[in-house]
Amino acid sequence: MRIPYHHVSASRTHLISTIAMPSAHNLLSMKQSCFRFGCTTSRIMRNSCLYNTKSNMYQSSQKSNRQQYSSAATATKRKISQQLETPDIIYSNNHLLVVNKPAGWKSQPGNGGGSSSSSAIDPKCLLTYLKSQSLGGGSNKDFLIPTHRLDQPCSGVLIFAKNGKAASRVQVAWARRNVKKTYWVVVEGNSQTTSKRNDKMNGLELLIKQSTRTKAKNIYKLSAILKSTKGKNARGNRRSNNNNAGGSVLVKPLPPNYSSLNDENSKDGRVCHIEWKHLRALSGERHLLSVTTDTGAKHQVRALLALAGRSPISGDLRYGNNHNTQFYNNAAEGGRVDQPLLDGSVALHARSVSLPTVSLGGMEFLKDEPFVGSIPSRWKDFFGLSEDDVRQI
């Protein structure tokens, strides 16, 4: 067992002080004894002073180390708290509240995979924060119901209902697959690719090979079977005893032109599909993609791109750093994420959400106009992308 840092310091100091600091009575006895053997008191005192000096130096060193450790821990906590940016309000009326969620916020209590029954207030819970700012409905301005979710390390458009009628109508639209959700993601291309047939999409050959080209121009479909691990990691092993650690999903890639596209379930799990389009080539072999889906399956965009398309999202260590799953084991191919982004985020942004079939008073624009959220400002530092750069895409 590893001994805590402060226990080691205390035990060493006590050991030195009890052994290396003789009392005056002991010194006198030592003096008398040492004369018999040709020793002098000065030698005894010199040795004692030497031990005293070493003891003081050791205690001083440990005090300095503790101060440095405390300062580093404080700086780390301060850095983490500073990473939670204030969410922007995209739209608000008496029916809906639409926000642009920054990375780091949990959509709702327990969104990290733990229990939502805890009475403790989570400072990273976006729902709790919005209620505290009186941005909800009802007489107390605190009635808010999340209509969908976004993973904690991801960002983008998130819609909350301010009354029961709005919540019911949006949730019916989700159930009937009448909600269109578009993500913008930055993916890691295949660094082992040697083909140069298309420089603009170099590194995406494996993703293209695994996908089906649709009738729409430059749009591809990627399909796979997803299976929840219920608290296990992407290898299928039980995760550590962390109540906030959500489980991953296992992925079984389906071949291009998969015939049973309407099957929602199979013996291995849930059949899921995403459609993607290449938007821009970035530095190295990174690429900006637009991904659309009409379902809300857990981690489907992250898992499909990484484990079926072999082009993981930048910063996604959960799926991008692990090719060993129950269904797919080919670590020699595909892009890979070896380190997180500096703020710990995953480069997945919910760019827009469209509710064309939802009818709410005074919101006729929903038939034609989606809610759109600006990309994170930190993407400028990470990928050289700003909202001004991509607004016309």
pLDDT, position 183: 97
262-279: per-residue pLDDT in tens?
556 667 788 889 999 999
Alpha-carbon distances, residue 20 vs 11, 27, 47, 51, 207 (angstroms)? 14, 12, 9, 6, 69
Same domain, 117 and 76: no
* Of the residues 59, 82, 105, the one at which a domain ends: 82
Question: Within its chain, how far is the Cα of 389 from the centroid?
Answer: 25
Is 144 within 8 Å of 127 (Cβ atoms)? yes
Q: H or E element: which one contains 156?
A: strand 155-161
d(CA 67, CA 63): 6
Same domain, 63 and 134: no
Torsion 160-166-167-173 (CA) sign: negative
Question: Within its chain, how far is the Cα of 340 from the centroid?
Answer: 9
User: How many domains is the chain partitioned into structurally?
Assistant: 2
d(CA 374, CA 382): 16
Same domain, 133 and 62: no
d(CA 174, CA 246): 23
229-250: per-residue pLDDT in tens?
765 544 445 544 433 345 788 8
Same domain, 73 and 93: no
pLDDT, position 155: 98
Torsion 336-313-301-102 (CA) sign: positive
36-72: per-residue pLDDT in tens?
444 444 444 455 444 454 445 545 555 555 455 445 4
Q: Determine the Cα angle at 272 with ends 274 and 148, to 5°.
A: 80
Is 186 within 8 Å of 314 (Cβ atoms)? yes
**Looking at the predicted structure, is the pLDDT value of residue 331 above 50?**
no
93-114: per-residue pLDDT in tens?
999 999 999 999 999 887 544 4
**Which amino acid, 366?**
L
Same domain, 124 and 254: yes
Contacts of 263 (CB under 8 A, 6+ apart): 271
Same domain, 177 and 278: yes
d(CA 47, CA 43): 6
Domain encompassing residue 20: 5-82
- Average pLDDT, whole number, for the chain? 76
Residue 77 burial (C-beta neighbours within 10 Å; 0-12, 13-18, 19+) = exposed
Least Cα distance to 346 among 380, 320, 328 occurs for: 320
pLDDT, position 283: 87
Phi, psi of 370 (to 5 degrees): -85, 165
Same domain, 168 and 113: yes
The pTM of the full predicted model, rounded to 2 decimals, is: 0.72
| CATH code of the domain containing 123 | 3.30.2350.10
288-318: per-residue pLDDT in tens?
999 998 777 789 999 999 989 999 999 999 9
Same domain, 381 and 352: yes
- Reading phi first (left if > 0) and then psi (alpha if -120 to 50, else beta), residue 105 is in beta
**Highest-confidence range of 247-261, 327-341, 353-367, by mean pLDDT?**
353-367
Is 122 within 8 Å of 67 (Cβ atoms)? no
Is 343 within 8 Å of 350 (Cβ atoms)? no
- pLDDT-based confidence at 257, cuts 50/70/90? confident
Query: In terms of DSSP bridges, do strands 155-161 and 348-354 run parallel, antiparallel, or are they unpaired?
Result: parallel
Answer with the residue of higher pLDDT: 124 or 35: 124
Same domain, 217 and 200: yes
Q: How far apart are the first and last CA of the chain?
A: 56
